[in-house]
Amino acid sequence: MEHGILWNTAFLMGTITKSMRNDGGYEIIKKAIEKLSLRHKEHIAACGEGNERRLTGHHETTDINSFKWGEILTM
């Protein structure tokens, strides 16, 4: 089994670097996610108005005030 990252949207998929795909890349990805979490509110604000209606936490997203990420196992 190998590790995979589950993203709610394709937003981050365009930011995956070569180093993230190489050996040790999982640790680089986790560090990048930690950096993103520190500026969550700023990033949400840059997405424009109305996100509070979509990011409710009632469906596949978490609520607008929380930053969460997950890992899935793929076969």
Provide the residue type at 60 as one letter.
E
DSSP state of 24: T
The contacts of residue 21 (CB under 8 Å, 6+ apart) are none
pLDDT in tens, 29-62: 889 888 888 988 888 888 888 888 888 888 767 8
Q: Nearest-CA neighbor of 9 among 45, 65, 75, 62?
A: 62
Reply yes or no on whether the pLDDT at 7 is more than 80. Answer: no
Ordered by start, the domain boundaries in the chain are 2-74
DSSP state of 9: S
What integer best gives the mean pLDDT of the chain?
Answer: 76
8 Å CB contact between 75 and 63? no
User: What pLDDT does 10 receive?
Assistant: 42
